[in-house]
Amino acid sequence: MREAGIEWRHSDRPVGYDAAVAAMERRIAAIRDDGAPELVWLLEHPALYTAGTSARAADLLDPARLPVHKSGRGGQYTYHGPGQRIAYVLLDLDRRGRDVRCHVWRLEEWIIGTLARFAVRGERRDGRVGVWIAGEGGRDDKVAAIGVRVRHWVSYHGVALNVAPDLDHYRGIVPCGIAPESSGNGVTSLARLGISASMPEIDGALRATFDVVFGDASGCTSQSPTRTAVAQASA
């Protein structure tokens, strides 16, 4: 399905990580060279870890726990798996302002708007990319991770929203370089917050809020340098 020149793709079965990256790379070439439509791809991955371009070996705490895939996206280690909604966002930034910081800000804003439809308040934190939930005692828990790569001014990779994944798998890594025992922060999910949301409901909210954020070229209000921390550009 296409809306305003953007194709929305939904995969019902888990998609292997390497296969997904290869498909994205083919599509960004087609967007750039052949004028193919931009793409938002909603999917899940099998349980695995990905290592972004800033990943530190010491942050892989249990290498034997799950397969580890090196990734060209910005950022450090993160977990992907069933119960997590992956939204890969392939947009032509050449037409959208050539502003990677703004693109990351919009991805955060998109997730914040999506969470609001389930009466959940997602927030930003200075110096920490992603979307966070404020907890008791000053604790923050990350509910959505963001990692982006830009090639020839076409973005790919995107957002991982924890709907109802197995959060125990985060024990095998230091997620996004933030160790819970030293920072007081951790990870959470909608399920842990007591929100029972199906993937179709999540997808509907993502669809409903996308144009509100990405349809307005002047809608970015943050130019914080920290918003580039998860972006790897080869523009």
Q: Do residues 140 and 179 make contact, with C-beta atoms less than 8 angstroms apart?
A: no
Question: Which domains does the chain carry?
Answer: 2-234 (3.30.930.10)
Residue that the structure tokens 């963001």 belong to:
146
Query: Using an 8 Å Cβ cutoff, are 37 and 5 in contact?
Result: yes
Residues 6+ apart with CB under 8 A from 24: 41, 88, 90, 156, 157
Residue 220 annotated as catalytic: no
Q: What are 159-194's pLDDT values in tens digits? A: 999 999 999 999 999 887 666 554 445 899 999 999
Q: What is the pTM of this model?
A: 0.90
Look at residue 159 and give its three-state secondary structure.
Answer: strand
Mind listing the pLDDT tens digit for each residue in 193-229?
A: 999 999 999 999 999 999 999 986 556 765 554 544 4
> CB–CB of 102/185 below 8 Å?
no
CA–CA gap between residue 80 and residue 46 (Å, rounded): 7
Mean pLDDT (the chain) is 88
Which member of 145, 160, 173, 176 is catalytic? 176
- pLDDT band for position 233 (cuts 50, 70, 90): very low
